A and B are shown apart, each in its own frame.
Chain A
């Protein structure tokens, strides 16, 4: 906390938190015009394979636990499904250093907006805020560091209450999806499974109850891990299970590991 000079009161106008952070030197600014040949040679830590789909109880968001750097498994208990506010989840594939920072900026931005403006930021505003952060990060991406490809799931509690689900590309384009989304290196397999289940499964994804939805998510991540070394899937010996969180009208529920383990035993193992 810095001491204030007399004229320093209220510098941001109260609605641009990233701008405020930059003015205090707390948030890095990516170079906008990277020079040719400046690509980083270092091996970056990456987090992979996240998925989300709408089901009866809202939106389910899941991610495996592995973080890798090149051929090395760096970490096997990473949490890639991050709670941003009471009704929003951001799941990350890409470089965790950047992604966790983005999540932190986003979380604080939404709270800052609500506190200063005395109203909740709209869902479109939130979706756009993440888009802006990705766009601001693109200078780094062009230099070969810090790529992030997130999924954003939220519940619009204002008029016309409904679950909303978006995925992004690295430049910040947002795509709203009707049923499911998956990003990260294991996502081709996940997308195949979700497409299959949605079209030819016993029920469409939107009609699954919570248990069925969790089982499908676990199966999809386990399948992705089968062919993609960067995806952790389910560590049967170490008993490390994916993170599964649910967004609904009543808020966010992080499923306890016991429950995931039980459903894994019932429907996957």
Chain B
């Protein structure tokens, strides 16, 4: 059957559609550079979605928990053995994603008799300045989208992960206009929450492409906050080698106070 090329293309298209349906209910994730580091943010999760990978690298993911777990283990194993054999400085997100992760995901996706990975991942690697931060999105087919443009004008200090293309776009549009990498953590948290809310509003009202107004966001975010916030930061300034830490309830308090 798949000897015929168009059948193969058709099979791949079906598979893509199937995976997209599986990913659709995933609660969006936001990663953005701020003064203190890279903030990872999501709401309403039923299980942990933001993870530490290595000293300066963190990951967020949506998809099937079994697949996410396998991929997470793999990336930690790769980073840890590299960090052991050479040094922590040699562990780089760019190499992990491009060299190790992407080819395997692509192969699993295209071998249509095997199971693909039902997962979409967001990685961040914190640098010494926001310009040095690397944020990558790795998809189930091995595609990589990065924040680092070749020209400064195209470089972005954030990335969004969700189950719908429209939601992702709505969130990106919001971030594009509201976020600046010089923002302090408090401000970044607020923007992350508003971005997340903007994505939901877009999802609720699929007819209108325009961004939701700030009053719409303000009324909607109160309801979303009840879902529970999960947030972690890769700390830029910490003296410890391990930069990842989950934000405490006290640090998240200002969100509810607004």
Interface set of A (CB-CB < 8 Å, partner B): 1-6, 8-12, 14, 17, 20-21, 24, 26, 86, 104-105, 108, 111-112, 114-116, 118
Contacts and interface: CB of A to CB of B under 8 A. Distances in A.
Contacts of B52: 114-115
B84 A3 contact: no
Contacts of A3: 99-100, 103
A261 to B, nearest CB: 23
A21 B81 contact: yes
B71 A17 contact: no
Nearest to B92: A1
Contacts of A111: 80, 242
Q: Which 4 A-B pairs have the closest CB atoms?
A: A10-B73, A9-B74, A1-B82, A108-B84
Given A4-B103, A24-B85, 19 more contacts: A1-B81, A1-B95, A2-B78, A4-B100, A6-B104, A9-B73, A10-B70, A10-B74, A14-B76, A17-B80, A20-B80, A26-B85, A108-B83, A108-B84, A111-B242, A112-B80, A114-B52, A115-B80, A116-B73
Nearest to A13: B73
Contacts of A11: 77
A45 B51 CA distance: 42
A104 B99 contact: no
B78 A1 contact: yes
Interface in B127-153: none
7 contacts: A4-B74, A9-B71, A20-B80, A26-B81, A108-B84, A115-B51, A115-B76
B70 A1 contact: no
**Listed residue (B70, B73, B77) with the most chain A CB atoms within 10 angstroms of its CB:** B77
A1 B77 contact: no
A112 B240 CA distance: 16
Contact of B48 (A114, A116, A118): A118
B61 interface: no
A104 B70 contact: no
Contacts of B107: 6
Given A9-B104, A21-B81, A26-B85, A112 B74 contact: no
Given A3-B100, A4-B104, A21 B70 contact: no
Interface residues of B, number: 31
A20 B81 contact: yes
Given A6-B108, A9-B104, A21-B84, A115 B48 contact: no
A76 to B, nearest CB: 25
Given A108-B83, A108-B84, A10 B77 contact: yes
A203 to B, nearest CB: 34
B202 to A, nearest CB: 32
B155 interface: no
A5 to B, nearest CB: 8
B56 to A, nearest CB: 13
**Listed residue (B48, B73, B99, B108) with the most chain A CB atoms within 10 angstroms of its CB:** B73
Given A1-B95, A1-B96, A14 B73 contact: yes
Contact of A24 (B53, B81, B95, B111): B81
A44 to B, nearest CB: 24
B77 A12 contact: yes
Contacts of B48: 118
A32 B14 CA distance: 55
Nearest to A118: B48
A99 to B, nearest CB: 16
A199 to B, nearest CB: 39
Contacts of A24: 81, 85
A112 B104 contact: no
A202 to B, nearest CB: 37
**Listed residue (B48, B111, B240, B242) with the most chain A CB atoms within 10 angstroms of its CB:** B242
A104 B84 contact: yes
A111 B241 CA distance: 11
Nearest to A12: B77
Contacts of B103: 3-4
A132 B243 CA distance: 29
Interface string B64-96: 000000111110111011111100000100011
Contacts of B240: 86
Nearest to B80: A112
A186 to B, nearest CB: 32
A114 B55 CA distance: 12
A49 to B, nearest CB: 28
Nearest to B244: A115
Contact of B84 (A2, A5, A26): A26
A190 to B, nearest CB: 31
